Chains A and B, each alone.
Chain A
Amino acid sequence: MAEDAEGRRLAVDAPTRTPILEIRGVSKRFGSTQALDDVSLALQAGEIHALLGENGAGKSTLIKIMTGVVQPDAGELIVEGRPVRVGSALEAQVLGIAAVYQEPMIFPDLSVAENIFISHRDRGRIVDRGAMRRDAKAVLDRLGVRLDVGEPARGLTVAAQQTVEIAKALSLRVRVLIMDEPTASLSAHEVRRLFGIVKALRGEGVAILFISHRMEDVFQIADRVTVLRDGHWISTRPRGEVTPASAIRDMVGRTMGDFFRRTPTRPGDAVLEVRGLAREGAFAGVSFTLRAGEVLGLAGLVGARRTDVGLALFGIAPADAGEVLLDGHPVTIRSPQDALRVGIAYTTEDRRQLGLIFALSIAANITLPTLRRYLSRFGLVRRAAEDAVAQGFKERLSIRAPTVEAAAGTLSGGNQQKVVLSKWLNTRPRVFILDEPTRGLDVGAKAEVHQIIDELAHDGIAIILISSELPEVLAMSDRILVMREGRQMAVFDSAEATQERVLAAAMGQPLTPPAAVV
């Protein structure tokens, strides 16, 4: 194998001309998380380069660094042999680096042609509608796409909006196009069309960094495949040398050793039964039974729509088909109040936006869903009672804070998460849905949260644990339900679940026949 200056292995047939964009030794840390650690990557003009990795592998941070949103702590970016500093989105644009995301950013009230050319500075003083339309059509032709360029962008499908963004990048003379999960919301036909576009781009000499969880897409279109894991570069190989199995092994290969060990709990009776739950446009056919004291891990990758299931059970985005039974009785959940009434609690995955009011005290946050319990006859808050409850949780969950009157925003991430857990525990739930409860927490805090989950299971609460961290799901769950793009793929018992099996199911590539759906 050939080696580059850094001593990394290079595929034999890797081109030796100057890469159009090179990332050398880039590292980035956010608080206590090392998002990227000495990662290097070289993109060649006219290649489609796939980037694989689990959630948390560092892909998004890499994109942010490449598009100037975030600055690396160490390492450099080199464009066509010259080191550059990408300090802003505008600088990235000038350098020819553009990104298209899963959620396209378009202007619904402007026409397609205008969306493409809105940030151009060099189109002259007067907007020439005719010329703009012609040029827009020309750009779209290069991509092999036909769109009505005069119509407002509002009516476009996600696929078409993506195309518009790609056309915009192309018109700005993009040299490196980053595509983040471009196929996640597309139909099969739209995916075919997108690949046509991407190949056309490649033909024009654009380097495309293609980030996707869908193996079949990667293997259809990529020229080379790079795998990241936990912020480290693992491998870069030409497509011919990669198989789905080898890629998954690269993505996953960590030891399970030091992880939290659950204390064995005998599950009680069935508490929650879900049959054929579906919400149009989000998920369908979700069915499972959950017993008291049992932890059901909900695993899957970005776009799996697990959160949507949680939101449906909690009444924020109610399902439009299927049944939910609690203790054997059917229940209708159309609002959070309904969910709370039947004993379902839900902690959101975005603690900052949706979980806590930072300016409010810990005690006030904890009692928010259950405030009625702490009001006197005249509707005044019984502070003493409220503080006592908060104090109780502070001790039980070891929340580190000066007092329960401290503002929630002053706590560390782990302690904030404990406040969120306290808030929902206080509602005395029978079913507790935890959505990414240890996201952004350091090892110690994670362990504490896992301990709490273990105790909750012991206390007989039925728990649904939504998590994108495979080791966490495997260590904590009694059973694992794997979802992919809104569909239920497999249910594993903890005994038969391995990282590879779960990840494979999550990517739609089952390694062994999945267990029967329960």
Chain B
Amino acid sequence: MTNLLRRVRPEQVRELTLVFILIAIVAFFATQIPNYIAWQTFNDISTGVEVIAVVAVGQTLVVLTRNIDLSIGSVVGLVAYFVGTLLASVPGFPAPAALAIAIAMGGALGAVNGVIVAFGRVPAVVATLGTLAIYRVALVELSGAKTVTTDSLPAWLLSLPRVSVVSLGQLDVRPLVLLALAVVIVFQLVLSYLPYGRRLFAIGSNPDAARVAGLPIQRDVFVAFVLSGALAGLAGLLFLVRFGNITVVAGQGLELQVVAAVVVGGVNIFGGSGSIVGAFVGATLINVLQQSLIRWPAVSAFAQDAILGLLILLAVASDKVILGRLRTIWVQARRRDEEQAAATSAEQAIRGA
């Protein structure tokens, strides 16, 4: 066992386990639900996941720095509503402009969070709990409690969910899914290959060392919140496409699902470790679970939240306990290796001398 652990890092074990769990869940439900393994199911699941996945990407950036963004649900709703109203009232409004506005608006909302947390030194949970309420108010005021209805939206928007970019037999690859995947890939690359991304890990891994090393912590955290908001804005546009009807409660409760996805996906709630891909797998897993539960008559559809809560707790607890143990074993194994290597080299030095 220790031999295996020596070669594979605990975080990789975690990610592999997640994939195995996902496969196990799919296998389990396949035995319980007729016609489960069908492209239709895949389509259903994939069209549900893109909103959460995109927001989870942004949330990962924030959580990596030991912060959290609880306001994204309100941001998604606000942007969805605003852009929807815009598209409804200005016929022929160009799609790219709508995209740009969604992202910019989200980014601005995220910037407010960033200022309060990074520069005002208000704990993220307090700051984003507050903006969660404030942005929701803005939505209500803006909307005058009216709803954006599907018939007011341009045709291109409404048909997006059903358009297929590629059709492989019965499998439809939808543009929104591709977009979500693209976002995931882009930001995974950012985290892996941009100095900014690496600094996010550093800040969460050891904030004191980050300060001593002179890293621009405040600026980097601020940008993380801006990105989280911008991605939430993008998700707001996806939300609009998916649902069409936007009421004043749009997006409410989204933040809980996103945090669940991120935590289950292996992003450490204390920051410093995790990956975008992991968060994506976490989002997928939760979505699969939810969609499967709906189809499974044995369990009430209302069990979703209870299971979600349990999942979060299990993920955080097992990370602390199991990952912690794995890490200790791994560290000890490496140290023993080093000592052995040192001893042999010392022997050689003596023999050679």
Contacts and interface: CB of A to CB of B under 8 A. Distances in A.
Contact flag (A, B; Cβ within 8 A): yes
Interface of A: 89-90, 93, 105-110, 114, 118-119, 123, 125-127, 129, 151-152, 154-157, 160, 189-190, 193
A155 B334 contact: yes
B76 to A, nearest CB: 30
Contacts of B338: 157, 160
26 contacts: A105-B208, A105-B209, A105-B212, A105-B213, A107-B201, A107-B206, A107-B272, A108-B206, A109-B272, A110-B201, A110-B205, A114-B198, A118-B213, A119-B213, A119-B214, A123-B195, A126-B193, A127-B192, A127-B195, A151-B334, A155-B331, A155-B335, A157-B338, A189-B342, A190-B342, A193-B342
B212 A155 contact: no
B198 A108 contact: no
B201 A154 contact: no
A151 B212 CA distance: 22
Interface of B: 9, 192-195, 197-199, 201-202, 204-206, 208-210, 212-215, 272-273, 327, 330-331, 334-335, 338, 342-343, 346
Given A107-B206, A108-B205, A108-B206, A118 B198 contact: yes
Contact of B198 (A106, A110, A125): A110
A311 to B, nearest CB: 21
Contacts of B202: 107, 110, 114, 118
Contacts of A154: 327, 331
Contact of B214 (A90, A109, A114, A125): A90
A160 B342 CA distance: 12
Given A151-B9, A156-B334, 13 more contacts: A107-B205, A107-B206, A108-B205, A109-B205, A109-B272, A110-B205, A118-B198, A119-B214, A127-B192, A127-B195, A155-B330, A157-B338, A193-B342
Nearest to A148: B334
B346 A189 contact: yes
A128 B197 CA distance: 13
B24 to A, nearest CB: 28
Contacts of B204: 109
Q: Is the interface of B mostly helix, strand, loop or mixed?
A: helix
Contact of B215 (A109, A119, A156, A193): A119
Nearest to B206: A107
Pick the most buried of A105, A125, A151, A156: most chain B CB atoms within 10 A of its CB.
A105
Nearest to B274: A109
B160 to A, nearest CB: 33
10 tightest A-B CB contacts, nearest first: A105-B209, A155-B334, A109-B205, A107-B205, A109-B272, A90-B214, A119-B213, A109-B273, A127-B193, A155-B331
B194 A125 contact: yes
A157 B213 contact: no
A105 B327 contact: no
Pick the most buried of B197, B204, B206: most chain A CB atoms within 10 A of its CB.
B206
B48 to A, nearest CB: 32
Contacts of A90: 214
Contacts of B206: 105-108
Contacts of B331: 154-155
B176 to A, nearest CB: 29
Nearest to A121: B195
Contacts of A119: 213-215
A193 B345 CA distance: 11
Contacts of A105: 206, 208-209, 212-213
Nearest to A188: B346
Contacts of B330: 155
A93 B213 CA distance: 9
A154 to B, nearest CB: 6
B14 to A, nearest CB: 13
A101 B206 CA distance: 16
A127 B205 CA distance: 19
Nearest to A120: B195
A152 B338 CA distance: 15
Contact of A126 (B194, B212, B327): B194
Contacts of A110: 198, 201-202, 205
A381 B9 CA distance: 53
A114 B204 CA distance: 15
A168 to B, nearest CB: 8
Contacts of B208: 105
B272 A108 contact: yes
A90 B212 CA distance: 8
A258 B57 CA distance: 68
A119 B220 CA distance: 13
Contacts of B212: 89, 105
A154 B201 CA distance: 13
B149 to A, nearest CB: 45
A127 B194 contact: yes
B276 to A, nearest CB: 15
A109 B202 CA distance: 8
A125 B346 CA distance: 42
A190 B197 CA distance: 34
Contacts of B213: 105, 118-119
A162 to B, nearest CB: 13
A63 to B, nearest CB: 13
A127 B193 CA distance: 5
Nearest to B327: A154
A189 B343 CA distance: 8
Contacts of A155: 330-331, 334-335
